[in-house]
Amino acid sequence: MPAPSDNTGSMFERFQCGMQPGCAVGVIHNGELVHAAGYGFADIERGTRIDADTVFNIASTSKQFTAFALLLLARDGRLALDDCVRKFVPELPPYADAVTLRHLMHHTGGLRSYIELLLLGGRTFTERTTRHEALAAVVRQRGADDEPGRAFAYSNTGYFLMSLIIERASRQSLKDFSHANIFSPLGMTSTSVVDRYPVGIAQLARGYSVSEAGTSIAESAWEQTGDGQVHTTVRDLALWDANFYAPRVGDRTIIDAMLRSGVLNDGHAVGYGGGLFLSRRGALAAVSHGGGWAGYRSELLRFPERHLSVIVLSNRDDTDACALAEKVAALHLDLPEDAQAQPLPHLIALRAGADYRPVQAGTYRGEFGQYLRILQDEQGLSIAWGDGRYALTARADGLLQFHAGGDAFIAVGHAAPDERLHLSVQLDDEVADYVAIEAWAPDLAHYAGRYTSEECDGHIELRAEGEHLAANLLGKERRLRTGAEGELVTDEGIALRVVAGAFIFASWGLRGLEYRRQSPRM
C-alpha cells in the first residue's frame, strides 16, 4: 500500500472559505491516526472551529454500538438473538410474535417506521419527542409491513426496539450500559449516548442546514436511542476502530458476529451485519455505515484487508459524507474511481444485451408499490429517490450511477417482453426492478378531503390545486399526481392507493396504513 497521501486536506478546502459549517476527517492506517483535522466551524455564532476533538451527532452510524451492546448481553447469557422481541417488549401486539432480536439487528423484522408514524401524527423534527411516544406509535399498529425474514428493509424501529431490549435485559439505560461497557473501557472519554435534551456537551458542533437561501440551525430534540444518538469525535472513533482488529472490549466472537451478514428465509445474505453494511469496493472487502439526522452527516468506512479506515463527521446537511469518505479512501488506497462500486453480472449482461435501452425521463413503479422518477433538465438526468434528488452520471462501462443516503447505486435501462421500459437499480448485491408506467387520468378533485387513520394520530388533508392534489405528508408540503392505475404519488415516491372512501399509504418505511375520508370533498 502506498504511503498515505498529504493531499487529503485538499478535498475539504471548500469548507475553509468564510464562516461556514464543515467537517472533521480522520484516516487510520495500521492502527495509527495518520490524518486528523477539522475544516470549517463547529459553532458559527461563537466562532468555534472544528477539530479532531469536536463532538458530532453521528446519527445512524450509532447502530454498530447498539448491535455491539446487544451482542455483549448475548455473550453473557442475558438474552439470545433468537429470542422473540415480545419476550422483552410484551407491549407489542401479536403481529410481532415471529420477530426475533436477530431480525431486528439485520433489518429483516418487517416492522413499520416509528419515525414516519410520528411525522404522520403531526410531530416535527424540531420538537421534543420521547421514546414512550415512539413505542406507543409502534404498539398501536395492527400489522407489519412484511413477514419477518422475507426481505431486507432498513429499519430504525428495529434498532430503537433493541435499545429498549438492552435496557430491560441489563437494567441500565443504553446510555449507561454503553458508557460502562464500551466507551469507558476503550477510553472514549468524549463519547456518549444522548437520551435527553438539552445536551450540555461543551465541544458539541451545532447542526446546520445549508442552501442557496443561506445557513440556519438544523437540530432535533428527538430522544429515541438505538437507531442513533451516539455523539462522538474523530479521535474516539479511532479507538473504536482499533477494537475490531484487537478487541479490548468484547472478544473475537462478538467482532465476527458484527461482521457476519444476516440471512433471509430463502438463504440469501443481506449484506448487513451488526449495525454495519458489508460490501466490496472492487476486490476489497468494505465495512461501513453512514448517518444523517437534522444538520449532521457521518460515515465510518473500513477496509480491513488494508487496515485502513476513513471517518467523516459533518455538521451541515448538504454534506455527502459517504462520497467524501470514498474519495479519501481511494486516494490513500490508490484506487481508480471506477473501483468504488462494481456492477453485478446481471446488470452487465443487460447493458450488453439486445434488450438494453437508454434510460428516459418518466415515472417508474417497483414491485412493492414504491415509485421513483427520472428527471431531465439542462444539467442532464437525475433521479428523485426517497426524499431527495440525485444526479445520474455515466460510468465508463455504460451504466449509470448515483449516490443517495450514503450508498452508491448503479442503474441500467432495458426492455421487457411487454416492450415497456424497465429500470434495474443495484445496491451492493441487491437489484430492484422498476417499470415505466402510464399515468391514469381521474378527476383528482374527487379525492380531496380530510382522512384519518385508526393506527396513527393526526389527519391528512388532500387539497385540490389545479391539476394536482396537495398535502402535508411526513412533515413536508408535497404535490400528488397520478401514478399507476388507482394510485397517487409524490415526486419523492410516497404513494396513496385509493379505494372507496379511503386510501392506503405507502412510503419508504411504511406500507399498508389505511386512511378513511372523514369530510366531504372540497
Q: Which of 70-74, 110-114, 197-201, 424-428 has the lowest mean pLDDT?
A: 424-428
The 8-class DSSP code of residue 179 comes to I
With H, G, I as helix, E, B as strand and everything else as coil, classify residue 353: coil
**Environment class of 367 (CB within 10 Å of its CB; exposed 0-12, middle 13-18, buried 19+):** exposed
| Residue reference for cell 412510503 | 507
C-alpha to C-alpha distances, 472 to 340, 450, 461, 516, nearest whole angstrom = 38, 12, 7, 16
Say what the pLDDT of residue 198 is.
86
What is the Cα–Cα distance from 243 to 188, expressed in whole angstroms?
12
Task: Give 33's contacts (C-beta < 8 A, 6+ positions apart).
Answer: 26, 27, 52, 234, 235, 238
DSSP string of 196-223, one letter each residue: SSS---TTBPPPEEEETTEEEE----B-
Confidence check: pLDDT of 2 > 60: no
How is residue 455 written as a grid cell? 393506527
Say what the pLDDT of residue 430 is.
74
Rounded to a whole number of angstroms, the CA Rg of the chain reads 23
Say what the pLDDT of residue 429 is.
66
What is the Cα–Cα distance from 58 to 511, expressed in whole angstroms?
28
Q: In angstroms, how far is CA 515 from the centroid of its own chain?
A: 26
What is the Cα–Cα distance from 361 to 491, expressed in whole angstroms?
13
Does residue 198 have a cis bond before it (omega within 30 degrees)?
yes
Task: Give the number of other CB atoms < 10 A from CB of residue 393.
Answer: 13
Which has the higher per-residue pLDDT, 360 or 407?
360
How is residue 287 written as a grid cell? 465495512
Say what the pLDDT of residue 405 is.
57
**Considering Cα of 36, then 37, then 43, then 46, what sign does the dihedral take?**
positive
**Environment class of 107 (CB within 10 Å of its CB; exposed 0-12, middle 13-18, buried 19+):** buried
What is the Cα–Cα distance from 158 to 108, expressed in whole angstroms?
9
- Percent of the chain's residues with pLDDT above 70: 95
| Phi, psi dihedral angles at 336 (to 5 degrees) | -70, 155
Say what the pLDDT of residue 102 is.
99
Confidence check: pLDDT of 342 > 80: no
**Is 62 within 8 Å of 291 (Cβ atoms)?**
yes
Sorted by where each starts, the structural domains of the chain and their CATH numbers stand as 38-110+145-332 (3.40.710.10), 345-436 (2.40.128), 444-517 (2.40.128.50)
Instruction: Provide the b/e sequence for 240-275 (b: ≥16 CB within 10 Å).
Output: bbbbbeeeebbeeebbebbbebbeeeeeebbbbbbb
Query: Where residue 187 falls among pLDDT bands split at 50, 70, 90?
Result: very high
**Is 60 within 8 Å of 165 (Cβ atoms)?**
no
Q: pLDDT for 371-414, tens place per residue?
A: 888 999 988 899 887 767 888 888 888 888 887 755 668 888 88
**Is 213 within 8 Å of 179 (Cβ atoms)?**
no
Which has the higher per-residue pLDDT, 81 or 333?
81
Angle subtended by helix axes 131-139 and 156-170, to nearest 10? 110
Q: In angstroms, how far is CA 31 from the centroid of its own chain?
A: 28
What is the Cα–Cα distance from 153 to 173, expressed in whole angstroms?
27
Query: Where residue 338 falls among pLDDT bands split at 50, 70, 90?
Result: very low
**Considering Cα of 269, then 275, then 277, then 278, what sign does the dihedral take?**
negative
Say what the pLDDT of residue 406 is.
54
Q: pLDDT for 419-452, tens place per residue?
A: 789 999 887 667 888 999 888 889 999 999 999 9
Element (H, E) at 421: strand 421-427
| Residue reference for cell 428495529 | 158
Q: Which of 67-81, 285-299, 486-500 has the lowest mean pLDDT?
A: 486-500
Say what the pLDDT of residue 336 is.
57
Q: In angstroms, how far is CA 159 from the centroid of its own chain?
A: 12
Q: Which of 5-19, 23-37, 220-234, 274-288 has the lowest mean pLDDT?
A: 5-19
Say what the pLDDT of residue 340 is.
55
How is residue 151 written as a grid cell? 426481505
The mean predicted confidence, pLDDT, of the chain is 92
pLDDT, average across residues 295-316 = 98
**Is 491 within 8 Å of 498 (Cβ atoms)?**
no
What is the Cα–Cα distance from 339 to 63, expressed in whole angstroms?
27
Confidence check: pLDDT of 105 > 60: yes
What is the Cα–Cα distance from 301 to 308, expressed in whole angstroms?
9
DSSP string of 23-70, one letter each residue: EEEEEEETTEEEEEEEESEEETTTTEEP-TT-BEE-GGGGHHHHHHHH
Confidence check: pLDDT of 522 > 70: no
Confidence check: pLDDT of 278 > 60: yes
Say what the pLDDT of residue 1 is.
47
Which has the higher per-residue pLDDT, 428 or 87?
87
**Is 344 within 8 Å of 431 (Cβ atoms)?**
yes
With H, G, I as helix, E, B as strand and everything else as coil, classify residue 418: coil
Q: What's the whole-model pTM score? A: 0.90
With H, G, I as helix, E, B as strand and everything else as coil, classify residue 238: helix
Confidence check: pLDDT of 323 > 50: yes
Say what the pLDDT of residue 314 is.
98
